[in-house]
Structure 1
Amino acid sequence: MKKPEFTITRCRRISPVKPLKLAGALIAASLLLVSCSSGPPKSLVTPLPPVAKPPLPTNPGHNQEPMRGVWLATVSRLDWPPVTSVNVSSAALRISQQKQALTDKLDKLKSLGINTVFFQVKPDGTALWASKILPWSDMLTGNIGEDPGYDPLQFMLDEAHKRGMKVHAWFNPYRVSVNTKPSTVAELNRTLSLHPASVYVLHRDWIRTSGDRFVLDPGIPEVRDWITSIVAEVVARYPVDGVQFDDYFYAESPGSTLNDSQTFRQYGQGFSSKADWRRQNTQLLIEQVSRTIKQLKPDVEFGVSPAGVWRNISHDSAGSDTRGAAAYDESFADTRRWVQQGLLDYIAPQVYWPFSRQAARYDVLAKWWAEVVKPTKTRLYIGIALYKVGEPSKNEPDWTVQDGVPELKKQLDMNESLAGIDGTILFRENYLNQPQTQQAVNYLQSRWGHSSVTR
């Protein structure tokens, strides 16, 4: 049995973010919003009117429509842009192909009844918008820092909003690269002459290796300030409907753990364990980002999509009756606490298992999360595993029974009938285009596609 979390009050001065010379005083001011952390139950959200969960109307109007979302990943060009577009002969052709691919996707999503796209704007230490803090993503051109000739985030917002769909800017906060190959190091080093250059060369002392990737060390206060400034830049400059962090907070692998021993010695005084200190670091980031977004634009939603299991009941009596990797213990993210404190407008746990998976049953987790949000104003969207549909699995054979449609139907039935669940998000967009999911896509079309999505 693990010890309960030890909480401690620590105040500190927020230091300025050294490499930034942003003109917007609003963004700079936002970095000073969080200067002290305290234990529960006190909330550190800016005292502005919260984004309340609307009461369920008798005749739901368009604004009360359930969330029907999809994640659109750009890391490694998983969903977009097309790999072939990067190798074409001219910039004009590349831009045309990338824009066409995106509008084709949005048209299909619209036809399926999808009303919200979670668009990955920061897949690593690069940006898919015209940033003054991060270099342009190499996903667009093949080269970090190369101007793609258009602004993908603005284009996505224009095209989605035109179709009556919302866009949440999806950030991976700490990842700098997807590998540590010599060629990656060389490419990052080549950005030194760029404005802006990669954080890898500007702040080499912030960089660690974890999960066989270069990441930022979450225990360094200036790192959290820097991440907050990136979110602030997007929120201040673009008409995004929301901001989402995924589940990569402390993302280690058994053979590649994060070496933050020196950081712990420097900043971890007073904590009973490194695990408690790590959780507090994640807490501070969420508090700071939440407060900053609400200060800049109170109507922009802030959400997190964590691992589906907060804690297992074997470790904590408040946990779920599951036996899976837990966000609290593996990612050092106390996701349940963020809901209780009102730090999030919504939470979207990744419940990527079928009803029959005894170690982490879909219904057990969906009901557990519905109970967590019940006394709060935080909305609950369940992330479901479209990527498993139609894929043979020894442990989860239900995904191939009748092409996975009965399992998908059961999950959607629960999401749409259980009080407390406000919608569904599919992971991820390109699986809507794969041969093994076509029966499921047809089912989604028949179930959701008839509704008209309006803003």
Structure 2
Amino acid sequence: MGRFLLLLLLPVFIACSSLKTPVPQTEEEFRGVWVATVANIDWPEHPADPWHKKQDDFLKILNFYNKLRFNAVLVQVRTAGDALYPSKLAPWSRYLTAKEGDAGDLQQDPLKWMIDEAHKRGIEFHAWFNPYRATFDMQTELLDPGHDFYQYPEWMVPYGTKYYYNPGIPEVREHLVNVVREVVARYNIDGFHFDDYFYPYSIQGEVFQDSTTYLSYGQPDQSLEDWR
């Protein structure tokens, strides 16, 4: 009788074990496009253009991808220790205004304007940050005196053709969190993105000089790579 009952219930057990909790499905897929501002890759076309020309160029991007049914733009708002919005923590980006730290002919907050224009079209606006890249090249004479390169030189590590923030320093990480918090608190963004959030790619013959930081904050059982 016991064997018969077991055989009778076996199909039930198999059926129950095959049931899976349904995975929640979104009604719409994420279709985003990156809009790079560093070195004026995508926008603005020329940093010295008047603001109304930059507005027209940005709207062309929005309208083009709106027709293709994209529903999100990921706009680079921090390229290298700078800002494409009025900030207490970073100078104006020279890729937006032609001169770092100078607002140029801006008569409105460009980030708020971009967000509003995206939302008018039903497009999400995601703020894209490059957290650890402090400069795009070694032309530090172009940097504003308020740039972190001058304000916190102890945070900087020269590597290759750029300067980087040293992520191993706790104050650096706290500062970068505050950079993001400033934007999240002030703007109606739909998301933020950290790009190049890792240590820079290896360059043959060069060393990322953070050994002192590693000795200060690394654990005894951690290799340099594990600590990073």
Fold equivalence (TM over 0.5): yes
Please state how far the C-alpha of 1:64 moved relative to its aligned partner: 2.1
Please state how far the C-alpha of 1:267 moved relative to its aligned partner: 1.1
Match of 1:252 in 2: 201
In the alignment, the residues of structure 1 paired with residue 129 and residue 220 of structure 2 have an alpha-carbon distance, to the nearest angstrom, of: 31
In the alignment, the residues of structure 2 paired with residue 258 and residue 113 of structure 1 have an alpha-carbon distance, to the nearest angstrom, of: 43
Match of 1:107 in 2: 63
SS in 1 for 2:31: strand
Please state how far the C-alpha of 1:72 moved relative to its aligned partner: 0.7
1:77 pairs with one of 18, 33, 40: 40
Q: Which amino acid aligns with 1:259?
A: Q
Structure 1: give runs of 5+ residues left out of the alignment: 1-53, 57-62, 89-93, 279-455
1:266 corresponds to 2:216: yes
Match of 2:24 in 1: 55
- Distance verdict in 2 for CA 1:81–1:257, change over 3 Å: farther
In the alignment, the residues of structure 2 paired with residue 160 and residue 260 of structure 1 have an alpha-carbon distance, to the nearest angstrom, of: 41
In the alignment, the residues of structure 2 paired with residue 238 and residue 220 of structure 1 have an alpha-carbon distance, to the nearest angstrom, of: 28
Match of 1:281 in 2: none
Query: Which protein shows a greater Rg?
Result: 2
Moved over 3 A (4+): none
Match of 1:95 in 2: 51
Match of 2:116 in 1: 158
Match of 1:143 in 2: 99
Structure 1 length-normalised TM: 0.43
In the alignment, the residues of structure 2 paired with residue 234 and residue 215 of structure 1 have an alpha-carbon distance, to the nearest angstrom, of: 21
Match of 2:73 in 1: 117
2:134 pairs with one of 161, 165, 176: 176
Please state how far the C-alpha of 1:268 moved relative to its aligned partner: 1.1
Q: Which amino acid aligns with 2:153?
A: R
RMSD over aligned CA atoms reads: 1.5
Report sequence identity in percent. 41
Match of 2:164 in 1: 215
Please state how far the C-alpha of 1:151 moved relative to its aligned partner: 2.1
Structure 2 length-normalised TM: 0.85
Say whether the 8 Å CA contact 1:211–1:253 is kept in structure 2. Answer: no
In the alignment, the residues of structure 2 paired with residue 164 and residue 252 of structure 1 have an alpha-carbon distance, to the nearest angstrom, of: 37
Say whether the 8 Å CA contact 2:35–2:73 is kept in structure 1. Answer: yes
Structure 2: give runs of 5+ residues left out of the alignment: 1-22
1:142-170 CA-to-partner distances (Å, cap 9, x unmatched) read: 11101141322111101000000001101
In the alignment, the residues of structure 2 paired with residue 208 and residue 271 of structure 1 have an alpha-carbon distance, to the nearest angstrom, of: 25
Match of 1:186 in 2: 141
- Distance verdict in 2 for CA 1:210–1:248, change over 3 Å: farther
1:235 corresponds to 2:184: yes
Please state how far the C-alpha of 1:248 moved relative to its aligned partner: 4.0
Please state how far the C-alpha of 1:271 moved relative to its aligned partner: 3.6
Please state how far the C-alpha of 1:254 moved relative to its aligned partner: 1.5
Say whether the 8 Å CA contact 1:117–1:165 is kept in structure 2. Answer: yes
Match of 2:226 in 1: 276
